[in-house]
Chains A and B, each alone.
Chain A
C-alpha cells in the first residue's frame, strides 16, 4: 500500500506537464498518450511492446470509470500517471492506476441548447504545458489547470443557438490550441479556429466555406454559401516540419438536396492544409464534390512518411466516408491514388486527379435511391490506425447501404436542415469489418468480419496487435499482421470510442470507453 502511494505522489508531483517538445517527441515516450490520436501524425499507434499475440489472451479489467452519459466517445489522454477524461460539459483527471478522481470540472448546459443531428458527446481534450483544453456543447473552449481543474480562461467560439456545437477534441501545437465545430445539419458555415494557448485570444479563423472574393467562392451560387455547412468535428493532424495543419471538412448544407446549391461546394467533403501560424489555406483536396449523401470528410488525416513510386514521400492517407481510400502528397495535396476499401455503388472510380466518375442517378430522389455506403459512410469519425512497423493502415468499416430520399429544404436559423433522409438497410443486411490496407497501395491485406457496422475506432501497437470494438459491446485484439482474433471481452454496451494505450507502474494498459463506462485492461 505505502510504496504505491508514495510512487503515485512522486509521479503527480514530478510533472503532469506536457510542453510542446514533449508532444512533438511522443514516439520516445509511449508510456503517455499525449494527443487525441497519440501523436501529431494521427497514427493512433502505440509503441509499447509488452502486449503481444502470445500474451494478450490474459488481459483483464483493472478498473472501471462510470460516466453519466450513454454512448461515451472519449479518447482519454494520459500524462505521467494521470488520465484526463471528458464527457459533455465535463472533464476529470483520474489516477491512472485506480480510476479514482483527482478533480472534476463541470459546466451547466443551457436549457435551450439542442444538438441538431448528432449525439450529445465529447471526444476528448488536448493538453499543453500544464493546461487542459476542452470544448463544450455550448461552443466554448475552456482552459483548465491540469493539476486542479480550476478554470484559466473561457473563449466563446460560436453561438449554439444557430446550431453550432463543439464535440471535437482540440489540437494543441506550439503556443496554440485549434478547434473545429459541429452543426452541418443546421446550415452553419464551418471553420477551424486557433486560440492563443496562454490567453484564449483568437489568433485566426479559417472559414471552410469561402466568402465573396475568396478563392473557391465561385463553386457556390448566390447566397447558398451562407448556409453551406462544412463542419470540422474531428481532430486534425499536424506536420511540424511543414508547419501545416491538416483538417477534414464535413458535408454541404442542406445534406441531401443538392438542387438548391449547384456547384462543387468547396471546401466541403475535403481535406484542407492550413499554415499553422496564419490559418491560410495551402492546399485542398475535395473527396466528394457536390456531395448529396452526407459523406463528411471529418476524419483524422493520417500522415505517413514512406516510399511511394520509388522515392520517399510525405504522404497523407484517408479512408473516406464515401468508400474510397486515398493517398495524397501532403506538401502539395496532389492526388496519388484512390481505391475502394468498402462497398460503394455511386462511382465507377476516380479520374487521374482523384475526382469521382459518378454513376448517373445515384443522387437521393423523391422515391428513394439505394446506394452503398449509407449516410454513415464506409467508415465514420472513429479513428483509423497506421503502424509504421507493418506499413498497414487499419480501418473499421461499415458495410451498409441505404435508400436516400430528397426532400424540400427550408433554412430556419438553428433548426434541422437536412433536405431529405435515408432508410438504411439494417439487421442482417448490414455488417462491419476491421480491414488492413497496405498504406501505399490501398490493397486489402486482411479483414476481420464484425456482426454489425461498428462505431469503434482501432489502435495498432508495436507489440503486433490491433484493438477494436463493436456495436454489440465486444472489445477485442487482432493479430496486426494476419487479422486473426486473439482476445475478446464483452463490455455490456455499444463501443463508440477509440482505444488508447499507456503504462501504469511500468505495465502496458489499454483503455476503451463502452457506453457509460471506461474500462482499463492490463495483464
Chain B
C-alpha cells in the first residue's frame, strides 16, 4: 500500500468524536448494491470470499476493515470503494461485521453444566476446543460466534442436516475393493484427499477408484437426540458461549 493511503486509512480510523454513528441498515443497502456482485447478496461469498466469518484474513481490526473497504486489497480483485463517504464506509463495515458474528442470544440452558456434558460425552475425541482435543470435526473454539443456537441444536440432534462446508463425508471404493470413509479434506479434478475416523489421511487418484460417493446426507458425528432435554439445552448454551473471547 502506498504510504499516502496508509495515512489516509489512519486518518479515517480516528473518526472524529462528533461523527454520526454507523448505520448498519444503510450499510446493508450499500453492500447489496456495491459489494454483492462479488461477495454474494448475503455476503456468503461468490467471486470474492465469504465475509460471514468471525475472523477475516486481511482484517485484524476495525481500522483495517475500513481501510480494506475504502482502498481495496493491493494486487487482488478487491477494489477500493472510493466513492463512499467515511460515514458510508463505517456503515458498510458495521454491516460486514454483523455478517460474521451471530449475536449472543438469551438461552434456557446453563453453559457451566454444558461444559461438563461436553467432557462427559467425549466431544473432544473429534473436536478441538481452545487447543484441546482431536481435530477430526471443526474447531469449536469460536463456534458460538459463527453459528446460531438453532443451528447448534440441529447439529447435535441431527448432524447430517447441518453439515458445515469443508466437512463433506465421502466414501471411496478403490479398484482393489478397499472401502474408505471419511471427511473430504481436499479434492481436485484428478485426486481426492480423505481423513478417516482414525485421523489417517488417504491420498487417492480418481482414475484408480471404482466408486466415489459424496454422502450429502450423512455425518460421522453421532446424533445426540437421546440427551435429556436439560442436558441438550446446557450443551447448546455452552457452545453458544464459545465466542473466541478470552
Are A and B a genuine interacting pair, yes or no?
Answer: yes
Give A residues with C-beta under 8 Å from B.
68-71, 111-112, 114-120, 185, 255, 368, 375-376, 402-403, 405, 407-409, 412, 414-416, 418-424, 426-428, 432, 449-451, 470, 472-474, 476, 485, 488, 490
25 sample A-B contacts, Cβ–Cβ < 8 Å, listed by A number: A111-B4, A117-B37, A117-B38, A117-B79, A119-B76, A120-B77, A368-B41, A405-B41, A407-B32, A408-B33, A414-B82, A415-B82, A420-B36, A421-B35, A421-B36, A421-B40, A422-B46, A423-B36, A423-B46, A432-B189, A451-B187, A485-B190, A488-B190, A490-B188, A490-B191
Contact B189 A118 (CB under 8 A): no
How far in angstroms is the closest Cβ of chain B from A1?
38
The answer to whether B188 and A115 touch across the interface, beta carbons within 8 angstroms, is no
Nearest 3 pairs between A and B by C-beta? A421-B36, A472-B188, A415-B83
Given A111-B5, A118-B77, A407-B33, check contact A474 B190 (CB 8 Å): yes
B36 touches A470 (CB 8 A): no
Chain B positions 1-50 with a Cβ under 8 Å from a chain A Cβ:
2, 4-5, 32-38, 40-42, 44-47
Give Cα distance in the complex from A426 to B41, angstroms: 13
Chain B nearest CB from A49 CB (Å) reads 26
Bound Cα distance from A212 to B207, whole angstroms: 59
Would you give the shortest CB distance from B58 to chain A, in whole angstroms?
13
A421-B47 in contact (CB<8A) = no
Q: A414-B82, A424-B47 are in contact. List 10 more A-B contacts (CB 8 A).
A: A119-B76, A185-B37, A420-B36, A421-B38, A422-B40, A424-B40, A428-B214, A432-B189, A449-B189, A470-B189
Report the minimal beta-carbon distance from A490 to chain B, rounded to whole angstroms: 7
How far is B30's CA from A407's CA once the two chains are assembled, in angstroms?
Answer: 10
Decide: B189 and A476 in contact? CB cutoff 8 A: yes
- Complex contacts, B44 vs chain A, CB 8 Å: 423
Which residues 185-241 of B sit at the A interface, judged by CB distance below 8 A? 187-191, 207, 214, 216
A262 → chain B closest CB, angstroms: 21
Minimum C-beta distance from A339 to chain B (A): 26
Contact A120 B37 (CB under 8 A): no
Asked if residues B188 and A470 are in contact (CB atoms below 8 Å), the reply is: yes
Interface size class, chain B: 35 or more
B173 at the interface (CB under 8 A from A): no
**B41-A472 in contact (CB<8A):** no
Measured between beta carbons, the chain A residues less than 8 angstroms from B81 are 416
Interface check B75, CB cutoff 8 A: yes
- The answer to the question of B165 belonging to the interface, with a C-beta cut-off of 8 Å to chain A, is yes
In the complex, B99 has a CB within 8 A of chain A = no
Q: Is A423 a contact of B190 with CB atoms below 8 Å? A: no
B189 touches A450 (CB 8 A): yes
Q: How far is B35's CA from A345's CA once the two chains are assembled, in angstroms? A: 26
Q: How far is the CA of A246 from the CA of B239 in the complex (A)?
A: 60
Cβ-closest chain B residue relative to A428? B214
How many whole Å from B85's CB to the nearest CB in chain A?
Answer: 12
Q: Give complex CA distance A420, B34 in Å.
A: 8
| In-complex Cβ contact of B41 among A111, A116, A422, A490 (8 A) | A422
B residues within 8 A CB of A116? 79
A362, B42: Cα distance in complex, Å: 20
- Nearest CB of A to B213, in Å: 12
Q: Does chain A have a CB within 8 A of B168?
A: yes
**Distance between Cα atoms of A422 and B46 in the complex (Å):** 8
Q: Which residues does chain B contribute within 8 Å of A405, judged by CB atoms?
A: 32, 36, 41
Q: What's the Cα separation between A116 and B82 when bound, in Å?
A: 11
Residues in A whose Cβ lies below 8 Å from that of B54: none
Which chain B residue has the least Cβ–Cβ distance from A427?
A: B165
In the complex, residue of chain B having the shortest beta-carbon distance to the beta carbon of A448: B189
Q: Which residues of A contact B137 (CB under 8 A)?
A: none
Q: Is residue B72 within 8 Å, beta carbon to beta carbon, of the partner chain?
A: yes
Contact A423 B40 (CB under 8 A): yes
Interface check B80, CB cutoff 8 A: yes
In the bound complex, residues from chain B placing their C-beta under 8 Å from that of A415 are: 82-83
- How far, in whole Å, are A235 and B217 apart by their CA atoms in the complex? 46
Q: A418-B33, A470-B188, A470-B189 are in contact. Are A426 and B83 (CB under 8 A)?
A: no
> CA A421 – CA B40 in complex, angstroms?
7
- Residues on A with C-beta less than 8 A from B165 are 427
Query: Smallest CB–CB gap between B72 and chain A, Å?
Result: 7
B80 touches A114 (CB 8 A): yes
Q: Is the CB of A423 within 8 A of B41?
A: yes
Residues of A with C-beta under 8 A to B42: 423
- List the B side residues contacting A450 at CB < 8 Å: 189
Residues of A within 8 A of B214 (CB): 428
How far apart sit A9 and B24, CA to CA, in the bound complex (Å)? 65
Min CB gap A226→B, angstroms: 18
